Amino acid sequence: MAKNSSPAPRNEDPSEQRIKKAFKRKGWSEVRANDSWAIFKIMSEFVEGFEAMQRIRPCVSVFGSARTPAEKPEYALAEEIAFQLTQHGYGVITGGGPGIMEAANKGAQRGGGTSVGLNIELPFEQEPNAFIDKEKSLHFDYFFVRKVMFVKYSQGFIGLPGGFGTLDELFEAVTLIQTQKIARFPIILVSRKYWAGMFEWIKRTMENEYHYIGPNDLDLIQLVDSAEEAVDAIDKFYSRYMLKPNF
């Protein structure tokens, strides 16, 4: 047997296997075929997402860590925020997984409001939580398609403590508004204790020292601590600009 055809060691890290697979030499026909099928898969995710999401009521997206256990105060806070949103006429969109996402879907369901889950297929997580409306549980392979759904169909973003995924969703929205690719909508981050350090660094380093953002860019984001403040910020945004949710 040729040396390079030996099977991977049984204890090899799966990430190492993916790296080796990514750099494996492929013929042009194989590359072209794979790319063509990827285009059709991407198109199908957009079509399915648009058809399902255009039928929902006005919603607010709630972000946060999938690793937040139910006994943590952040879980209860996310549930209460979602519940209060439903009492103000909004539904809730989450990433469909556990933790903060589960809490928000649970709160929306408890309030009798729309509960949407945009689940992403991952190798180590996640399964859709049990509190998503059956016909509003969508599944995506591509993060960028999923993020389009969040931005296109949300009346606002509320971010609770989370990790890289939460930051990705936050800065995607901020960048699109900053560059005027989309109209402004409210972006609320909950827990000053959690987010204050990041804001201080952005202000001190990005804005004041390096001038990589404008003096008003941080005004696109509002920091709050309670469910009441978060929901009130959404309401005040639309009343201040004499706007109504966009569909």
Q: What CATH code is carried by the domain that includes residue 173? A: 3.40.50.450
pLDDT of residue 36: 84
CA separation for the pair 14, 75 (Å, rounded): 31
Q: From the CB of residue 213, how many other CB atoms can be counted at a distance below 10 Å?
A: 16
User: What pLDDT does 125 receive?
Assistant: 57
pLDDT of amino acid 45: 96
Q: Which residues pair with 157 in a beta bridge?
A: 61, 187
pLDDT at residue 150, as a whole number = 95
In whole angstroms, what is the distance from residue 109 CA to residue 134 CA?
A: 11
Per-residue pLDDT reduced to its tens digit, 86-138: 999 999 999 999 999 999 999 999 999 999 999 998 776 568 999 999 999 99
Tell me if 28 is assigned to some domain.
no
Beta carbons of 145 and 45 less than 8 angstroms apart = yes
φ/ψ (deg, to 5) at 114: -65, 135
> Pick from 114, 128, 120, 118: which is nearest to 50 by CA?
118
Q: Quick one: pLDDT band at residue 238, thresholds 50, 70, 90?
A: confident
Integer Cα distance of 159 and 167 in angstroms: 9
- Which tens digit of pLDDT belongs to each residue from 194-219? 999 999 999 999 999 999 999 999 99
118 lies in some domain: yes
**Is the model's pLDDT at 4 over the cut of 80?**
no
6-20, 49-63, 181-195, 201-215: which has the minimum mean pLDDT?
A: 6-20
Task: Identify the pLDDT of residue 246.
Answer: 46
Neighbours of 214 (CB within 10 A): 10
Q: Note whether residue 37 is domain-resident.
A: no
Q: Based on the structure, what is the number of domains in the chain?
A: 1
Answer yes or no: is 231 within a domain.
yes
Q: What are phi and psi of 135, to 5 degrees?
A: -85, 0
Amino acid 2: pLDDT = 45
Q: Is 17 inside a domain boundary?
A: no
pLDDT at 34 over 90: no
Average pLDDT over residues 139-167: 96
**117 phi, psi to nearest 5 deg:** -130, 120
- Residue 55's domain comprises 44-240
Give the residue-averaged pLDDT of 3-31: 60
Q: What is the average pLDDT score of the chain?
A: 89
Q: Which two tokens stand for residue 194?
A: 């959690």
CA angle, residues 83, 119, 184, in degrees to nearest 5: 65
pLDDT for res 188: 98
Inside any domain, residue 16? no
Whether residue 33 has pLDDT greater than 60 = yes
User: Does pLDDT of 23 surpass 50?
Assistant: yes
In angstroms and rounded to an integer, the radius of gyration of the C-alpha atoms of the chain is: 20
In a domain, 225, yes or no: yes
Helices (H) and strands (E) in the chain, counts: 8, 7
Among 5-19, 168-182, 184-198, name the one with the lowest average pLDDT. 5-19
- Note whether residue 125 is domain-resident: yes
